[in-house]
Each structure stands twice: as structure tokens, then as C-alpha cells.
Structure 1
Amino acid sequence: MSESRLVAFTDGIIAIIITVMVLEFKTPSATSFAALWALRHEFAVYLFSYLALAVYWVNHHHLFQLVRHVSTPVLWANMIYLLTLSFFPFATAWLGSTRLTALVPAMFYGGVNLLANLGYGCLVWTLMRDNRKLREPVRLYAGSFRKNVFSVAANVVAMASAFVWPPLVLIIDGVNLIVWAVPDRRIERHVWQKQHKNL
């Protein structure tokens, strides 16, 4: 199977997840700015979730620039990755409705971030195994996988921090997202060199 079909499918699912997430918004009970201000927590969590999904999408896009063939294990790993992302609308709505003060919704939201990172790590690991005969791509995959291990550890710390103060989950996971906001530049260089070599 061509990687372009998998990438197109993934793009569509992530677009649907974002659409479902914004549809969870309830209109204010009144027509005043005060009523809109009362929804600030929902907007804050939605913005965070939107940025998280954007970061996951950008990294997925860059990762699959190394891929030219998709095996069945990669297909299933990608489906697991999408499953983890599909929990974001529910987790976003639940945490936003609590004004960021409840322990369990905050831990659940942190758990969704943890699952998403584990899903991405599973996908990268599967790609490494699938391309183990291709030296350069495997080395680049390995860089993303090591980065993912540290990211998962940060997610666990974020979940534990909810016992201290629930908003810390968003703060720690937000710092974690910043690390992933700029994808691995080695992948970009590798793709650029390969494209210019073929010219």
C-alpha cells in the first residue's frame, strides 16, 4: 500500500476529531460578555487540545516523508495512534466543564496525552521494524523514538501533578508539546537531500 493513502486517511480522521471537539461547545446561557467569560475554561482546554492535535499531525506528516511502503503492522499501529487521538474531544469537554479544579478529569486528560504519546511511539517503533534494512530512515526513526520515551515520562509526571494542582497537567503537558512543536530537522534534511539527489 502507498503511504499517501494512509496519510490522507489520517488527515481526514484528525480533521473529524477537531470538528467533533469544537461541536462540544455549548452556547452561552445569556447574550452578555459575562456569559462568554464564564466559558473561558472550556476555551482554554479546547485551545490546548487543538494545539496538541496540530503538533501530532505535523509530526505524523514529517515522519511519513520517510515512508514509501506501508505494511499491515504499520496500518494497525496507525489505527491505534488514531484511536488514542479520538479520546481528545471527550477529555477536553470533561476537563473544561470542571473549571480545571477536579482531580479525576485532569488525570484523565493527562492520561489521554499519555496514550497519544504511547500510540505515536508504537507507530514509530513499528516503522523502525518495518524498515530495519534501510539504514538511514531507521536511524532517523530512532531519534524520534528516543524523544518519545522522554515525552511519555513527562506525561506520567503531569498526571501525578494533578494531585498537587489540577492545572499543572496542562502546564507540564504544554511544555512537553513545545518540544515536539518543531519536528526533527534531520528528517527534513534527509528528505531535502534525497529530493535534490534525484533531480
Structure 2
Amino acid sequence: METNRLEAFSDGVLAIVITIMVLELKIPHGEDLTALFPLWPVFSSYALSFVYIGIYWNNHHHMLKASERVNGQILWANLHLLFWLSLLPFTTGWMGENHFARWPTFFYGLNLLVTAIAYYVLQTSLVHLHGPRSLLASAIGRDVKGKASPFLYVLGIVTTWLFSPWGGLVFFVGVALMWLVPDRRIEDRLEVRKSDT
């Protein structure tokens, strides 16, 4: 099977996820700037999750461009990823509405962790299907950022629980910043392949 339908379906789900998240931003009842101040926790959590959705969308897109086909296992692995991403509006809203309290921030971090694991499962399934010498496998390489991210999420979750939700958020924001710098590995390999043909 080709990747087109999987990519289109995933794009649609992610667009809906972003739409649901933005609906949590309620219009303030006031005309001056002070009316916006109570919204800062909800807006901040929305902005962080928007960046995360963008990171996943970007990397998902590049990963599928480096893939030639998919199978049933990959379709389920992709649905597994989309399931955890679709929970982000809930954990984002809960965290924002409760001003980054311990339990909501803990579950937000847990949501990020299982989403990262789901992405790794999808990536591993695609590499397995295409083989260790495939374009995708060579582009991913050692995948330092991919392996560091779950570790940092765990540190954030533990910090949130044992010390402070704000300390945990430092780890969650740090991972987002780490991935905000575009990962050019797959793009560079695709360019090389294009120039060779």
C-alpha cells in the first residue's frame, strides 16, 4: 500500500486536534488588556501543545516521504500515535485551566511520554518494513534526539511529582525547543536521492 491515504488521514486528525485545542481559549469579557491576563495559563498550555503538534506533523510528514509503502502493522502503529495525540487537547486544557497544578501537569507529561513512545513504534515499524539499508533507516541513524526525548519526559514527570510542576515544565519545554530546530536528516537524504536520479 502507498503512504498517501495514511498521510492524508493523519493530517486531518492533527488539524482537528489543533482546532479542538484552540476552542479552549474563551473570549474575555472586557475590552482592556487586563481582561486577557486570566487567559495566560490556558494560552501558554495551548501554545506549547501547538508547537508539539507542529513538531509531530513535520516529522511524520518527512518520515512518510522517505517511505515507499505501508502495511497493516504500520496503519495500526499510526492509529496508536494518533490516539495519544488526540488526547493532547484534554491534558492541555486540564493543565491550563488549573494553572499548571501537579496532577494535570503530571498527566500532560505522561501524555507526551506515551506519544513519543508511539512515534518510536511507528518509526521502528517503517524501518523494519523498508529494511536497515533503506533511505529512512540511514536518515534516522542513531536518532539521539529521539532517544533522549522519552528520558527527558520521565525526568519532567518525576520532577513534577516530587518537586514542582514548574520544574517539570522546564523539561517539557526543553524537549519542544530541542525539536523546534528542524531535523534535516530525512530532508537531506531525500535531496541526495533526488540529485542522484
TM-score (norm 2): 0.92
Equivalences for residues 8-87 of structure 1 within 5 A? 8-87=8-87
Between the aligned partners of 1:69 and 1:77, the Cα distance in structure 2 is 14
- Determine which of 159, 162, 165 is the counterpart of 1:161: 159
Contact 1:28 1:35 in 2 (8 A): yes
For the aligned residues, what is the CA RMSD? 1.7
Between the aligned partners of 2:59 and 2:21, the Cα distance in structure 1 is 20
Letter in 2 for 1:33: L
SS in 2 for 1:167: helix
SS in 2 for 1:99: coil
Contact 2:140 2:185 in 1 (8 A): no
Structure 1 window deviating more from structure 2 (127-136 vs 60-69): it is 127-136
SS in 2 for 1:64: helix
Letter in 2 for 1:75: L
* Cα drift, residue 8 of structure 1: 1.2
Between the aligned partners of 1:133 and 1:113, the Cα distance in structure 2 is 28
Contact 2:25 2:39 in 1 (8 A): no
* Cα drift, residue 111 of structure 1: 0.7
TM-score (norm 1): 0.91
Q: Which residue of 1 aligns with 2:114?
A: 115
CA 1:197–1:153 in structure 2 vs 1: closer, same or farther (change >3 Å)?
A: same
The unaligned stretches of length 5 or more in structure 1 are none
Contact 1:41 1:99 in 2 (8 A): yes
Between the aligned partners of 1:76 and 1:143, the Cα distance in structure 2 is 25
* Cα drift, residue 48 of structure 1: 0.6
Contact 1:17 1:89 in 2 (8 A): yes
Q: Which residue of 2 aligns with 1:106?
A: 105
Contact 1:158 1:172 in 2 (8 A): yes
Indicate the percent of aligned positions where both proteins have the same amino acid.
33
Between the aligned partners of 1:137 and 1:43, the Cα distance in structure 2 is 36
SS in 1 for 2:65: coil
Contact 2:48 2:173 in 1 (8 A): yes
SS in 1 for 2:35: helix
* Cα drift, residue 187 of structure 1: 1.4
Q: Report whether the alignment pairs 1:2 with 2:11.
A: no
Between the aligned partners of 1:182 and 1:4, the Cα distance in structure 2 is 26
Q: Which residue of 2 aligns with 1:149?
A: 147
CA 1:133–1:110 in structure 2 vs 1: closer, same or farther (change >3 Å)?
A: closer
The unaligned stretches of length 5 or more in structure 2 are none
